[in-house]
């Protein structure tokens, strides 16, 4: 007999295994991917490393302090007036410091470090935008594949009914065996399509699992009557103009030019003198066992200025300046290339979304027309003016249109995110805007 005290636990476990997994939203998958995706974690670690590297560049502006300790013991034997031995101990400690007063190179290096930190932040921003798009791509791939499987199964059911009707009509003599064979061939074909659709959905779910670390993938679907909003602003020039000031790649190129110009300043600073403030304090303790009178302790302190003026370095500085000037020209070309590439990608993404929105409207009209055509064909088949293959073709057209419409909607939503990535404005808030279109 079951222990009554264990009954609540058994009921809880039974409920846990019978309740279906709760559907996850797009934002849920993005949050999971931020802590699981290896590519994103690698970019995050690189960002943190670059921040610490940038801090190292400031070291040349601060004092350099060293502490030195030394111990020396010596012993000797002398036989001039009998055997005599002696030993001495010497102990010393020196504390030294150097504070740069005028070192132009160190100032430029610190400025370059600050620019490098800004570049690292932009690189991490680009990695975050890439993660958003990758999560959305995998998410909508699962939904699109699931919809395709749903439509294939619905088509299979419709063909199965048509096959049964063809067999009945053949048995009563109102149809030929051709109708039955045509329906059977179409049914066998849709079975193969169902197997392929099931496998495709399985693969798409695995991809989303590998990206987010979640199991039992069950993404929320798009609302059935959702309306795809128009692009705002509806002008590609405005998107391109916005990209000029916010796109990570363009801003990285701008900072790269700044770093190249600072490198030229650093090369020019090699001609300039340097001035440091130096100071030291040392203590030396001397102990001699043979002659205690020689035991002593010495304290010494020194403060001074260290000046250095480069006079000639074999034309190395002059050629280094020419090198950095050429690298400046390269950085300007890289900036121009980045601006052109971003402008082209933004326009391409804009017109892609615009085209996708037009396809959605056209496919919505095609779906309604295909449904009307199927209804008319079925009626014609019933009254004898249409044949079985006409009904099968109309069914295939309708379900193919439904699948294309479903994918077109997902492509428009994903295209909107890619458009914002193309012009550099993509952030997590854009995912929230898409998330509200999913079923609650």
Please tell me the distance from the alpha carbon of residue 240 to that of residue 275, in angstroms, as a whole number.
49
pLDDT digits (tens, 9 = 90+) for 181-235: 988 999 999 999 999 999 999 999 999 999 999 988 889 988 877 777 788 888 9
In tens, the pLDDT along 394-432 reads: 999 999 999 999 999 999 999 999 999 999 999 999 999
Q: What are the residue ranges in the chain where pLDDT is below 70? A: 1-21, 76-86, 288-294, 440
Give the distance between the most distant pair of CA atoms in the chain. Answer: 144
Predicted pLDDT of residue 263: 94
Which CATH architecture is the domain 22-75+88-435 placed in?
Up-down Bundle (1.20)
Place of tokens 């058994």: 10
**What is the residue-wise DSSP string for 202-258?**
HHHHHHHHHHH--SS--BPPBPTT--PPPPSS--HHHHHHHHHHH-HHHHHHHHHHH
Q: Which pLDDT does position 38 carry in this prediction?
A: 94
- Sheet with 84-102: list strands edge to edge: 64-78, 84-102, 274-288, 296-308
Q: Where do the structural domains in the chain lie, given as residue ranges?
A: 22-75+88-435
Alpha carbon distance 382, 390 (integer Å): 12
Per-residue confidence (pLDDT) for residue 19, from 0 to 100: 39
Alpha-carbon dihedral angle through residues 349, 354, 357, 362, given to the nearest 10 degrees: -130
pLDDT at 1: 36
Q: What is the pLDDT of residue 17?
A: 37
Residue 204's nearest CA partner among 40, 29, 34, 402 is 29
């Amino acid at each position: 007999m079951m222990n009554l005290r264990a009954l609540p636990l058994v009921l809880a476990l039974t409920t846990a295994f019978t309740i279906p997994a709760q559907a996850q939203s797009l934002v849920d998958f993005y949050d999971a991917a931020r802590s699981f995706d290896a590519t994103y974690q690698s970019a995050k670690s690189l960002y943190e490393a670059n921040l610490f590297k940038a801090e190292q560049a400031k070291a040349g502006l601060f004092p350099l302090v060293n502490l030195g300790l030394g111990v020396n013991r010596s012993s000797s034997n002398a036989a001039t007036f009998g055997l005599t031995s002696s030993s001495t101990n010497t102990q010393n400690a020196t504390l030294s410091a150097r504070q740069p007063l005028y070192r132009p190179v160190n100032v430029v290096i610190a400025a370059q470090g600050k620019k490098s930190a800004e570049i690292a932040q932009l690189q991490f921003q680009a990695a975050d935008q890439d993660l958003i798009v990758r999560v959305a791509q995998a998410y909508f791939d699962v939904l699109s594949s699931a919809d395709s499987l749903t439509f294939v199964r619905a088509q299979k059911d419709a063909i199965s009914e048509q096959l049964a009707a063809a067999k009945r009509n053949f048995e009563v003599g109102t149809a030929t065996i051709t109708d039955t064979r045509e329906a059977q061939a179409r049914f066998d074909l849709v079975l193969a399509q169902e197997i392929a659709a099931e496998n495709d959905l399985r693969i798409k779910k695995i991809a989303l699992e590998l990206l987010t670390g979640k199991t039992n993938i069950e993404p929320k679907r798009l609302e059935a009557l959702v309306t795809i909003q128009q692009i705002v602003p509806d002008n590609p020039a405005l998107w391109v103009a916005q990209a000029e000031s916010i796109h990570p790649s363009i801003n990285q190129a701008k900072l790269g030019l700044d770093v190249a110009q600072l490198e030229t300043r650093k090369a020019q600073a090699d001609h300039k003198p340097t001035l440091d403030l130096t100071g030291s304090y040392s203590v030396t303790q001397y102990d001699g066992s043979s002659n205690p009178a020689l035991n002593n302790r010495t304290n010494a302190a020194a403060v001074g200025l260290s000046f250095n003026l480069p006079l000639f370095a074999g034309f190395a500085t002059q050629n280094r300046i020419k090198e950095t000037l050429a690298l400046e020209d390269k950085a300007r070309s890289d900036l121009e290339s980045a601006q052109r590439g971003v402008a082209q990608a933004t326009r391409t993404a804009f017109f892609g979304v615009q085209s996708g929105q037009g396809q959605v409207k056209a496919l919505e009209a095609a779906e309604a027309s295909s449904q009307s055509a199927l209804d008319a064909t079925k009626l014609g088949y019933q009254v004898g003016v249409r044949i079985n293959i006409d009904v099968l073709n109309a069914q295939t057209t309708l379900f193919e249109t439904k699948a294309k419409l479903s994918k077109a909607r997902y492509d428009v939503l994903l295209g909107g995110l890619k458009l914002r990535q193309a012009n550099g404005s993509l952030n997590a808030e854009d995912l929230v805007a898409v998330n509200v279109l999913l079923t609650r």
